[in-house]
Chain A
Amino acid sequence: MSLTKCDKLIIVAILILSIIIYVLFNLNIFTSGAEMVEIRVNSKLYASYKLSEISDEITVNINTEYGDNTLKLSKKAVWMTGSSCADKLDVKCGAISKPNQTIICVPNKVSVTIKGSQKNSIDKVTY
C-alpha cells in the first residue's frame, strides 16, 4: 500500500472540509443555547416542544402513515427509543442536545431538530 502525493492531498482536503462543516454547525455563531425541538414528518411540522418547559422526561409517539417512532424528551437532550423501521439508525445514533443537531429516520420520513434561540444582543453581553 502506497499513497501518492495526490492521495495525501485528497485526504487532507476532505478532512479540512469536514472540520469546516463541523465548525459551521457547532460554533453557533447565529444562535445560542438549545431552545426548541421540532419534529417534522415528510417535511411538515408534526409537533414542537420548548425544552425549558419540560420538567420531567416525556415520551412522544409519532404515529403516521409512514411508520411509528417513539421519541424521549428531557430538559437537556432528545433521543429516539423505538422505531418501526428496519435499520433503527435513528435509535442507534443516540441523544442530541445542541442546536442544529438532527435525528432523522429515513424510512419513516421523520426528522427531529433542535433549534437554538436567536442571540439577543443586549441580554447576553457581559463586561
Chain B
Amino acid sequence: MKKKTLSQNIGIMAMFIAIGLILQYIENQLPIISVPGGKLGLANTITLLNLFMFGGGNTLVIAIIRATLGSLLSGGVTSIFYSVSGVFFSTIAMWLTKKWLYPKVSMIGLSIIGAAVHNTAQVFVAAFMFSTWYVFSYLPGLLVFSVFCGIATGYCTELLIKRVFKGDILLCGK
C-alpha cells in the first residue's frame, strides 16, 4: 500500500473516531452484564486496530478524542475523567506491550491487557475522587470481567483485520 499524505491520514483518523463513537453508543444500549461498572469495550477494537495502522501517538490522539466526545454524549462531565484516564493508560499499555512483545503476545493478549489496565485506571481515579481505598473492592470482579471482554474484543479485532483488511493492515500508514 502507498504512503498516505497527512490530510489522508487525518481523514482516516476522523473516520475511526466516528466508528468508535458509534460502537460506544451501541454498547451503552446493551444491558449491563452482571458486574457493576463493567462493559464490553467494543471501541477497544478500534484502538487496537489503530495501533497497528498508525502506531502509538496517533492512536492515543484518536482514543482520547473518542473518549472525550463519547462521555460528553452519554454521561456528565465527571465521566470524562474516568473514560479519558482509562483510555489513556490502556492505550499506552497496549502500545508498549505491542512494541516489546507483539508476536509473542497475540492480539487477544493485547486486548486483555488493555481492558484490565482500563478498569484499573478507572478504579484508581474513583479512589482518588472519593479519597477512599474501599472502591478497590470492585476491582477483582472488574478484572475477571475484563479477561472475558478482552478475549472477545481481541478476537473481534483479529477477525476484522483478516476479513475486512485481508491482513493488509500492517502496511497501512507506513
Contacts and interface: CB of A to CB of B under 8 A. Distances in A.
Contact of A10 (B82, B113, B137, B138): B113
B97 to A, nearest CB: 9
B132 A113 contact: yes
Contacts of B139: 18, 21
B8 interface: no
Nearest to A1: B155
B126 interface: yes
A107 B137 contact: no
B140 A18 contact: yes
8 contacts: A3-B108, A11-B112, A14-B147, A15-B147, A86-B74, A102-B137, A109-B129, A113-B134
Contacts, number: 98
A43 interface: yes
Contacts of B78: 106-107, 109
B131 A43 contact: yes
B112 A10 contact: yes
Nearest to A5: B104
A19 B137 contact: no
Contact of A2 (B36, B76, B101, B106): B106
A14 B75 contact: no
A122 B78 CA distance: 47
B36 A89 contact: yes
Interface residues of B, number: 37
Interface in A63-115: 86-87, 89, 92-93, 100-102, 104, 106-107, 109, 111, 113
Contact of B106 (A4, A93, A100, A113): A4
A30 interface: no
B158 interface: yes
Contacts of B144: 14-15, 18
Interface in A1-30: 1-7, 10-11, 14-15, 17-19, 21-22, 25
B22 interface: no
B135 A104 contact: yes
B79 A7 contact: no
A77 to B, nearest CB: 15
B136 interface: yes
Contacts of B138: 102
Contacts of B13: none
B79 A18 contact: no
Contacts of A15: 143-144, 147
Nearest to B139: A21
A117 B37 CA distance: 28
Interface centre among B32, B79, B130 (most CB of A within 10 A): B130
Contacts of A106: 78-79, 82, 126, 129
A3 B36 contact: no
